[in-house]
Amino acid sequence: MRLTWDDIQSNAIAFSNRWKDAASEKQQDQGFIESLLRVFGVVDARTIGTFQEKTKIEGQTKWIDYLWKGKIAIEMKTRGENLDKALDQLRQYMYSLPAEDVPDLWLVSDFENIRLSRRSTNEIFSFKTKDLRKHIKLFADIAGYETERVREEQTEVNVKAAEKMARLHDSLKAHGYDGHNLQVYLVRLLFCLFADDTGIFPKDCLYRYVKESKADGCDLSDRISRLFDVLNMDDATRVKRTLLSDELKQFRYINGSLFASQLPPADFNQNMRLILLECLLFDWHKISPAIFGAMFQGVMDAKQRRELGAHYTSEENILKLINPLFMDGLWKGCFSFYGMVRSCPWK
């Protein structure tokens, strides 16, 4: 039986008092984590998750301090250590996991401070451990409650997804990839993100494909260009291409002309690769079709962003943005991506 919020708040106060002087990662981390989860009614953290979950980063074995698959990952540090670096470290660990195991909540702590990242909304919350009682509803999923905030703010989630794509846009543009080519490139990537979570592609195959690229991003441009070529390759051609790898065969042919034209390759670096992986960790099948308009609102130039704001607008207004930004001619003779998403049977 789940605890009431009053019970959880009382537990949080007791937890904060108990651990107010803790400082050592090596000696006190597991006790801290078990006690923290117990605040929210988790009686035995070891039955639902794993301490020292093994993973590999660039061929090196690493250990996640605690992983409850699909729920929360926790990394502890000695008091006073840099939590920004700790969160970056945990983020790297998350990219090494199968997509279905990646939790929504990523928590780092030095006992005195807690930093909580929610990947579905790209938010980070920082607070003192002694103030946990004020932030207990951030852990609603852990306590057995549906995360009302996430449900009620679905619009915000959609816009956060758009903002992630905007970050990729800005990085590509900053390195000289611009104009019509950039717009088409982002439309293609967005289609692929959606396809990876909605049954067009085998589940998470794009995530695995990108994750297999080199950590510095040096080969990602070629891999994406090759992917676009394969998505434009019809079944009759594929039969003849006997040397086509199994890795690429899993991506089905997309008819129409979305992938027909040749685009110049867009170069990637380490940071841009990580941004794309963050986009892939979104569960895109839950995203409203209106996200496609919101995304292009988000990737417009700085002046237009200020004028229009970074917030969700009505579908009527979003459509006013989609038409010129998608460049209607791009879709003539193929399919309307927006319309396909709204009416597709697998939605």
Per-residue b/e over 36-58, b at no fewer than 16 CB within 10 Å? bbebbbbeebeeebebebebeee
Task: State both tokens at 148.
Answer: 């009302």
What predicted TM-score, i.e. pTM, was given to this entire model?
Answer: 0.52
Q: Tally the C-alpha atoms within 13 A of residue 127's C-alpha that lie toward its C-beta.
A: 13
Question: Which residue matches tokens 């946990």?
Answer: 132
Long-range contacts of 181-187 (CB under 8 A, 24+ apart): 181/263, 181/264, 181/266, 182/266, 183/325, 183/327, 184/261, 184/263, 184/330, 185/263, 185/266, 186/295, 186/299, 187/258, 187/326, 187/330, 187/337
pLDDT reported for residue 286: 62
Other CB atoms within 10 A of residue 1 CB: 5
Q: Which parts of the chain sit beneath pLDDT 50?
A: 150-151, 297-301, 303-347
Average pLDDT, the chain: 80
Residue 239 and residue 228 in contact, taking contact as beta carbons nearer than 8 Å: no
pLDDT reported for residue 138: 92
Give every CB contact of residue 125 below 8 A, 6+ residues apart in sequence: 115, 116, 117, 118, 135, 138
The secondary element (H helix, E strand) that includes residue 240 is helix 235-240
- Strand 105-109 relative to strand 72-76, pairing: parallel
pLDDT reported for residue 319: 37
The C-alpha angle with vertex 182 and arms to 177 and 187, in degrees rounded to 5, equals 150
pLDDT reported for residue 338: 38
Q: Give 285's DSSP letter.
A: G
The whole-angstrom separation of Cα 51 and Cα 49 is 7
Bridge partners (DSSP) listed for residue 108: 75, 115
Residue 222 and residue 216 in contact, taking contact as beta carbons nearer than 8 Å: no
pLDDT reported for residue 284: 75
pLDDT reported for residue 147: 52
Other CB atoms within 10 A of residue 120 CB: 17
Domain segments of the chain as ranges:
5-150, 154-343
CATH fold of the domain at 5-150? tt1808, chain A (3.90.1570)
Question: Which residue matches tokens 């090196």?
Answer: 60
